[in-house]
Amino acid sequence: MSGGLDGTAPGEEFDDRGARPFDPGLQPERTALAWRRTALALVVAAVVGIRVLPTLLGDWAMIPAGAGLVLAVIVLLASHRRYREHHVRLTTSTSDRIALPDGALPALVAATTLAAGIACAVVVVVLALGV
Amino acid sequence: MTDSDRRFPRSVYRHGDEPDARFSLANERTFLAWIRTSLALLAGGVALETLGLGLQPDLRLAASVLLIVTGILTPIQAWLGWTRSERALRMNRPLPAAHLALPLGIVVIVVGVLVLLGIVLA
């Protein structure tokens, strides 16, 4: 991948399509940033879970809390790869019917968030009952 | 769509044709916004109960439970909304309505009123 932004003089045409954004509205980049702030929010939630759940529920609760942190980091890394995949497919395709990555990562994020919600419900029930 | 297209979920990708990529990206961002909304609701619900904040306990618990129940429903809305919108884009049909948007607004208002009463009656 030579001829990137650094090697291109002002006004000169990009000789490499991969060095140019797909869309002047920077849609893939905005989507990548949305993924990143969501993944970081999940990381923070998991870290709070590691602090709160074991003291409230017992040592076993470290297992779901730790699994949450592992999942959150996986989402962070996978979303970075997803952006690269978006960029490569969108800038190299000659068709206007471009197949993008599928819904597996969104499904994982929705499931992780749902699990976090159930953990929060358990926390509030335990606190309310004063166990 | 080709027969070799094995993308998940099949309920989306077996229909229609590839939409404008920018629409799919916007749909993804909407999904992620719902996820962050869920995390914010859950954080509020847990914070109310753990911090206490000197509110009247029953009202505080009601607000907390309402926030967490809504925070559990929003990732479901996020996923179903994403799949329905992506399918609609592929089939060139009108986008589905966000059915949880109005109830969510009402929940936030009710939680605000509960917290306010919790402060006044404390």
pLDDT in tens, A44-63: 999 999 999 999 999 999 99
Chain A partners within 8 Å of B29 (Cβ)? 30-31, 34
CA A26 to the chain's CA centroid: 18
Rounded Cα gap, residues A121 and B68, in angstroms:
6
Looking at the predicted structure, is the pLDDT value of residue B63 above 80?
Answer: yes
Contact B28 A104 (CB under 8 A): no
Name the residue facing B39 among A27, A86, A113 (closest C-beta): A113
Looking at the predicted structure, is the pLDDT value of residue A95 above 60?
Answer: yes
Of B104, B74, B47, the C-alpha closest to A109 is B74
The domains of chain B are located at 20-120
Contact A27 B21 (CB under 8 A): yes
Express each pLDDT in A62-77 by its tens digit.
999 999 999 999 999 9
Rounded Cα gap, residues A28 and A41, in angstroms:
20
Instruction: Kindly state the helix (H) or strand (E) to which residue B55 belongs, with its residue range.
Output: none
The contact set of B with A (CB < 8 A) is: 5, 7-9, 12-13, 17-18, 20-22, 24-26, 28-29, 31-33, 35-36, 38-39, 42-43, 45-46, 49-50, 61, 64-65, 68-69, 71-72, 74-76, 78-79, 82-83, 86
A20 band by pLDDT with thresholds 50, 70 and 90: confident
* CA distances for B106 relative to B23, B67, B71, B100, angstroms: 29, 11, 14, 10
- pLDDT given at position B27: 97
Chain B partners within 8 Å of A90 (Cβ)? 21
Handedness of CA A49, B68, B38, B114 (dihedral sign): negative
Q: Count Cα atoms within 13 angstroms, Cβ side, for A64.
A: 19
Residue of A nearest to B58 (CA): A128
- pLDDT given at position A10: 53
A131 band by pLDDT with thresholds 50, 70 and 90: low
Dihedral class, residue A26 (left if φ above 0, else alpha if ψ from -120 to 50, else beta): left
- pLDDT given at position A7: 47
Chain B partners within 8 Å of A25 (Cβ)? 22
